[in-house]
């Protein structure tokens, strides 16, 4: 049996889904989660905005001993996805310890730009 590793509460203040893509790759962001444990991890994701109420209670599973590179464009609440071209922030809670990293590929220009951070572990 493998134990969970990491933290159960993570924050990423700088979320942004680019509006357009050009060139060979598609602009996207990923919330990359690793679950080292022998149990599945149940995530609850909250999306915060600058000018409206948060989108709460988005549920995602990360299976035991697996990673899940979650495309933010795949996240939705009551069928409504995260809007593109709008600044937002991400909170990830998990029932067992996991590790969270956030990466963005911006392909607005034919030449891509990449950024990545390990999320801030609250607890």
Least separation, in Å, of the C-beta of 29 and its own copies? Answer: 11
Binding of residue 84 to its own copies (CB under 8 A)? no
Q: Is there a contact between 47 and 55 (Cβ–Cβ < 8 Å)?
A: yes
How many residues make contact with its own copies (CB under 8 A)?
53
Stretch near its own copies under the rule CB under 8 A, chosen from 37-45, 64-72, 73-81: 64-72
> β-strands 76-77, 80-81: how paired?
antiparallel
Number of neighbouring beta carbons within 10 Å of residue 95: 13
| Two structure tokens written together for 32 | 């990359």
Give CA–CA dist 116/123, Å, rounded. Answer: 21
Q: Is there a contact between 57 and 77 (Cβ–Cβ < 8 Å)?
A: yes
Looking at 34, 55, 75, 92, which residue binds its own copies (CB under 8 A)? 34
Looking at 21, 68, 77, 81, which residue binds its own copies (CB under 8 A)? 68
Least separation, in Å, of the C-beta of 18 and its own copies? Answer: 9
Stretch near its own copies under the rule CB under 8 A, chosen from 37-45, 73-81, 104-112: 104-112
């Amino acid at each position: 049996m493998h134990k969970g590793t990491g933290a159960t509460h993570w924050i990423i203040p700088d979320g942004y889904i680019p509006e357009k893509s050009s060139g060979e790759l598609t602009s996207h962001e990923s919330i990359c989660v690793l679950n080292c444990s022998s149990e599945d991890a149940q995530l609850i994701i909250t999306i915060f905005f600058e000018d409206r109420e948060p989108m709460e209670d988005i549920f995602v599973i990360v299976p035991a001993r697996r990673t899940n590179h979650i495309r933010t464009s795949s996240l939705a609440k009551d069928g409504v996805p995260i809007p593109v071209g709008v600044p937002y922030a991400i909170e990830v809670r998990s029932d067992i310890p996991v590790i969270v990293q956030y990466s963005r590929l911006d392909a607005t220009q034919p030449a891509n730009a990449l950024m990545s951070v390990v999320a801030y572990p609250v607890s």
